[in-house]
Amino acid sequence: MRKLSLDAVAREQLKKATENTQRRSAKTVFGGHEHVLRQSVIALAAGAVMADHLSPGEATLQVLRGRIRLTAGKDSWEGRTGDLLDIPGARQSIKALEPSVVLLTVVKP
């Protein structure tokens, strides 16, 4: 068993996101390519976008801090600190409406 401070990881990743030219930073905190379950902390500077993409499996997005917009097709949802969003199977994108950090959880089929 191991213990991890998501708050500390969120602070670290948000600092990196605001300092690099891509305006985002991510760290896998559990799992990876060799596992079915993967959890990643993703930080986005204000206005940064994770471009249109498909999820590799069932997924949720928990907003650890900030405010984001998740768009899938013609639908969009706003998430704020503490919100949990189900990610639809359609192509989606995420935009940070302010400096934001999310926990992305994906279960591959």
CATH number at residue 13: 2.60.120.10
**Structural domain containing residue 75:** 6-107
* 21: in domain: yes
* 101: in domain: yes
DSSP H helices in 3-103 = 6-19
* Residue 12 reports pLDDT greater than 80: yes
- Backbone φ and ψ for 33, nearest 5 degrees, come out as -65, -30
* 14: in domain: yes
* 1: in domain: no
* 69: in domain: yes
* 76: in domain: yes
What is the pairing mode between strands 37-44 and 84-87? unpaired
16-56 confidence digits (pLDDT tens): 999 999 999 999 999 977 889 999 999 999 999 998 877 77
Domains identified in the chain, total number: 1
CA atoms of 71 and 101, how far apart (whole Å) = 17
Strand, helix or coil for residue 44? strand
* 102: in domain: yes
Phi-psi region of 47 (alpha: psi -120 to 50; beta: other; left: phi over 0): left
The pTM (predicted TM-score) of the whole model is: 0.92
